[in-house]
Amino acid sequence: MGKALIIGCGGVASVAIHKCCQNSDAFEEILIASRTKSKCDALKEKLEGTTKTKIQTAQVDADDVDALVALIESFQPDVVLNLALPYQDLHIMDACLKTKTNYVDTANYEPEDTAKFEYKWQWAYRERYEQAGITALLGSGFDPGVTGVFAAYALKHHFDEINYIDILDCNAGDHGYPFATNFNPEINIREVSANGSYWEDGHWVETKPMEIKRVYNFPEIGPKDMYLLHHEELESLGLNIPGIKRIRFFMTFGESYLNHLRCLEDVGMTSIEPIEFEGKKIIPLQFLKAVLPDPASLGPRTKGKTNIGCIFRGKKDGRDKTYYLYNVCDHQECYREVGSQAVSYTTGVPAMIGAMLVMNGTWKGPGVKNIEEFDPDPFMEALNKWGLPWKESFDPELVD
Ligand code: NDP
């Protein structure tokens, strides 16, 4: 039994909050605090009466460390679950440090003015978190998140050493719009318009955006085009999985999405450099976000499935071994259950599970930890219980 402060009330937070309320044996009380309090109040109103979890709401600017400290001191949570945007990570980590409170997030810090996400800013808190005796669990979504748990599970149960990991993220959902993003458009477009990269033989190999394309026949979905991207878990898995020679990350994109993205890039709409517009400075990408469909509105329209997983190759008892772990999630089933599509669902469920394991002390640092540093078994069990059952194959198609 414990208390969680949840910061942010967007697509991912909404799922995590539904799941905390389903899991009221673990989440006795939650406080939902975000920039726009009316969204927190609407969710509270929807969920109250359906759960034993006590729900409170508050307005907070998560970039204001003093305001966060005051909120944490008054609510006294066992864990703070950060489901705002990556820009807020360090401010929320500062507030947790000042109040000696455990911290969980789903995405690593990214400065607002440079589209470059790296763990170095958050890893710089390691010693201070250790000294304070508190735990920060970084990246408890699906990717990063479940992908790291899958890697730790594969290493613990199936391999003596893992040499190759391919992370494959397929969203075969169709929302019927020519162009929309499935989570925060600003964060999503920053990620996919950046150079790609993969980790090989101890160093990064950089590629142009979408330069490397493969077709993969996804179980329960079929063949899809996928493209190599840089992704944050490559950085931590490259360090934490012994014997690793190469890790790559691929994500599927449809032709319509890519054509629109290319056009938006060509006309400058994805830029994060401020421009002067009618006497005011605006950032083109933020303006674009304002005119695109809100990801939260895609839920009722999205049909189809996601399949996210990892193919591992390595050695067991001196022999070569291949192992594929993945989850398939149906957009409409997610919508029926919690009112959100599968991209928010596949992130919100692991966020709840990570917060639960830190809150009840199953996962204890102290220090700043990536998810693959913990025992994967309780998390794998919880995935099956809370809506993201996983499947395995010992003879998967490989990516060349
Ligand atoms: P949304 O834009 O839907 O939600 C973000 C929420 O944070 C909104 O409620 C927003 O408030 C709130 N917020 C933003 N800035 C502040 C602030 N300064 N103070 C307080 N609240 C603030 O994003 P998503 O739910 O799609 O994504 C949430 C996080 O999940 C992101 O960090 C994203 O990168 C991550 N993610 C991780 C994935 C994974 O697999 N690991 C996959 C998908 C997403 P308001 O309502 O006022 O806008």
Confidence (pLDDT) at 115:
65
For the Cβ of 187 lying below 6 angstroms from any atom of ligand 1, the answer is yes
Cα of 12 to ligand 1 centre, how many Å? 7
Per the prediction, the chain carries an average pLDDT of 95
Confidence (pLDDT) at 321:
98
- Average the pLDDT over 113-140 and give the result: 93
Model-level pTM?
0.95
CATH 3.40.50.720 location in the chain: 2-138
For the Cβ of 60 lying below 6 angstroms from any atom of ligand 1, the answer is yes
- Fold classified for 146-342: Dihydrodipicolinate Reductase; domain 2 (3.30.360)
- Write out pLDDT tens, residues 26-47: 999 999 999 999 999 999 999 9
Cα of 41 to ligand 1 centre, how many Å? 17
Q: Is the peptide bond before 274 cis (omega within 30 degrees of 0)?
A: no
In b/e form, how buried is each residue of 78-115, taking b as 16+ CB within 10 angstroms? Answer: bbbbbbbbbbbbbbbbbbbbebebbbbbbbbbbeeeeb
Atom of ligand 1 nearest to the CA of 183: 26
Atom of ligand 1 nearest to the CA of 296: 3
Banded pLDDT at 149 (limits 50, 70, 90): very high
Q: Which amino acid is at 389?
A: P
Res. 98: pLDDT tops 80 = yes
Res. 339: pLDDT tops 80 = yes
- Write out pLDDT tens, residues 154-188: 999 999 999 999 999 999 999 999 899 888 888 88
Q: Is the peptide bond before 366 cis (omega within 30 degrees of 0)?
A: yes
CATH 3.30.360.10 location in the chain: 146-342
- Average the pLDDT over 76-90 and give the result: 97
The Cα 24–Cα 80 span in angstroms is 17
Res. 251: pLDDT tops 80 = yes
Res. 113: pLDDT tops 80 = no
- Average the pLDDT over 76-104 and give the result: 97
- Fold classified for 2-138: Rossmann fold (3.40.50)
- Average the pLDDT over 63-86 and give the result: 98
For the Cβ of 141 lying below 6 angstroms from any atom of ligand 1, the answer is yes
Cα of 17 to ligand 1 centre, how many Å? 13
Cα of 37 to ligand 1 centre, how many Å? 14
